[in-house]
Structure 1
Amino acid sequence: MSDDRSVVDMDPDVARRLFEEGAFLVLLGVPQGTELGIDCKSWQVGPRFKGVKMIPPGLHFLHYCSVNRPSHGGEIGPKTGLFVTLKPREILLAHWDPKEEDLDFSASQNEEEVSRIRDNLKELDTSLGPYPYEVMRKWVSLTDRLSHEVAMNLQPLSGRICAFSDVVPEIQFRHTEDRAEQPRNDTACQSMKEGLDKLPRMKQREGTELRFSAIPEKMYPPGATPAEITRCSLDLSYALDTVLQNYELRPLDLLGELQFAFVCFILGNVYEGFEHWKSLLTLLCRSEETMRKRKELYLGLIAVLYHQLGEVPPDFFVDIVSQNNFLTSTLQDFFQYVGGPGVDGSLRKRAEKFKAHLTKKFCWDFDADLDDCAPVVVELPEGFSVD
Structure 2
Amino acid sequence: MDPNLINALATNCGCILILDLPIGTTFGIDINCWNTDTKFKGIKLIPPGLHFIFTNSNDSHGNSSFRSGFFHWFESKDIQIKQWCKNSEVLLDNELSHEEALKYKSNILSFDQDLAPYPYDSFKKWTSLTNYITKDILNKLNSKIISSCPDYTTKKFISSKKGTIKELVTTQNNDNEHNSYKSINLPKIQPDNDIKNIDDLLNIKPEYTISYTTIPKRLLYPKNSNPSDITKHNLDTSYTLQSLIIPQENEDNLKLGHELLGEIQFSFICFIYGHHFESFDQWKKLVLLLCNSETAIRSIRYTNLYIGLISVLYYHIQEIPADFFIDIIEDPSQNFLINTLNRLFNSISLPSLSDEDEGRKKLVNRAKNFKNYLRKNGYHFKSSKFVDDEYPVVIKTF
**223-232 vs 238-247, which moves further:** 238-247
Residue 331 of structure 1 aligns to a residue whose secondary structure is helix
Match in the other structure for 1:40: 31
Distance (whole Å) between structure 1 residues aligned to residue 275 and residue 36 of structure 2: 20
Partner of 1:213: 213
CA distance in 2, matches of 1:331, 1:196: 42
In structure 1, C-alpha distance between the alignment counterparts of 2:193 and 2:112, rounded to whole Å: 56
Q: 2:76 maps to what in 1?
A: 88
- After TM superposition, the structure 1 stretch with the greater mean CA deviation from structure 2, 253-262 or 209-218, is 209-218
Instruction: Give the length in aligned residue pairs.
Output: 331
2:185 alignment counterpart = none
Residue 99 of structure 1 corresponds to 87
In 1, the alpha carbon distance for the partners of 2:284 and 2:386 equals 20
Secondary structure at 1:61 match in 2:
strand
Indicate if the aligned counterparts of 1:92 and 1:108 stay in contact, CA closer than 8 A.
no
Corresponding residue for 2:309? 301
Tell me the SS of whatever aligns to 1:362: coil
Aligned-partner Cα distance in 1 for 2:104–2:386: 63
| TM-score (norm: length of structure 2) | 0.76
State the match for 1:231 in structure 2: 232
Query: Partners of 1:224 and 1:196 in 2: how far apart?
Result: 46
Q: Which amino acid aligns with 1:370?
A: K
Please provide the CA RMSD for this pair: 2.7
Query: Partner of 2:140 in structure 1?
Result: 153
Q: Pick which of 347-356 and 262-271 moved more.
A: 347-356
| Partner of residue 129, structure 2 | 142
Mapped pair 1:279 → 2:275: no
Please list every run of 5 or more consecutive structure 1 residues that lacks an aligned counterpart in the other structure. Answer: 1-9, 168-194, 374-387
Alignment-mate amino acid for residue 217 of structure 1: K
TM-score by length of 1: 0.78
Task: Report the Cα offset of residue 246 of structure 1.
Answer: 8.8
Partner SS state of residue 324, structure 2? coil
Please say if residues 107 and 113 of structure 1, whose CA atoms lie closer than 8 Å, have aligned partners that are also in contact: no
1:35 deviates by 1.0
Deviation at 1:107, TM superposition (A): 6.2
2-side partners of 1:288 and 1:163: how far apart?
A: 35
CA distance in 2, matches of 1:282, 1:228: 20
Give the 3 Å change call, closer, same or farther, for CA 308–99 of structure 1 in structure 2. Answer: same
Q: Percent identity?
A: 32
User: Among 16, 38, 43, which residue is 1:25 paired with?
Assistant: 16
Query: Are the structure 2 counterparts of residues 283 and 247 from structure 1 closer, same or farther at C-alpha, using a change threshold of 3 Å?
Result: farther
Q: 2:322 — aligned with what?
A: 314
| Aligned mates of 1:371, 1:101 — CA distance in 2 | 44
Q: Which residue of 1 aligns with 2:353?
A: 342
**Which residue in 2 is equivalent to 1:370?**
385
Task: Report SS of the residue matched to 2:123.
Answer: helix
* Native 8 Å contact 2:15 2:80 kept in 1: yes
Once the 2 structures are TM-superposed, how far is the Cα of residue 118 of structure 1 from its aligned partner?
A: 3.6
- d(CA) in 2 for partners of 1:27, 1:82: 14
Once residues 34 and 347 of structure 1 are traced to their aligned partners in structure 2, the CA distance between those partners, rounded to angstroms, is: 44
State whether residues 339 and 387 of structure 2, in contact with CA within 8 Å, keep that contact through their aligned partners in structure 1.
no
Question: Cα deviation per residue 1:69-89 (whole Å; 9 max; x = unaligned)?
Answer: x5xx67431000110111111
The 1:246/1:152 distance shift into structure 2, 3 A limit, reads: farther
Greater displacement, 114-123 / 275-284 = 114-123
Given the alignment, which residue of 52, 57, 71 partners 1:66?
Answer: 57
Distance in 2, matches of 1:75 and 1:357, equals: 36
CA distance in 2, matches of 1:242, 1:14: 47
Deviations 1:267-324 (A, max 9, x none): 0111111121111011111101112131110111111111111111111122322530
Question: Could you say what secondary structure the match of 1:337 adopts?
Answer: helix
- Compute the displacement of 1:371 (Å): 5.8
The whole-number CA distance in structure 2 between the counterparts of 1:31 and 1:342 is: 62
Hey, what's the Cα distance between the residues in 2 that align with 1:320 and 1:306?
A: 24
- Aligned partners of 1:103, 1:275: CA distance in 2, in Å? 25
Whole-angstrom CA distance in 1 between matches of 2:292 and 2:136:
28
Evaluate the alpha carbon distance shift between residue 372 and residue 295 of structure 1 in structure 2; reply closer, same or farther with a 3 A threshold. Answer: closer
Counterpart contact for 1:247–1:253, Cα < 8 Å: no
Amino acid at match of 1:90: D
Provide the C-alpha distance between the structure 2 equivalents of 1:109 and 1:146, rounded to a whole number of angstroms: 31
What CA deviation, in whole Å up to 9, does each residue of 1:188-231 have, x standing for no partner? Answer: xxxxxxx9997943332241222211111221335432111100
| Deviation, structure 1 residue 331 | 0.8
1:333-371 deviation line (CA, Å, top 9, x unaligned):
1111111223522211221222222222224235x3436
- Give 1:16's match in structure 2, choosing from 7, 13, 25: 7
Give, in whole Å, the separation in 1 of the partners of 2:49 and 2:367.
Answer: 30
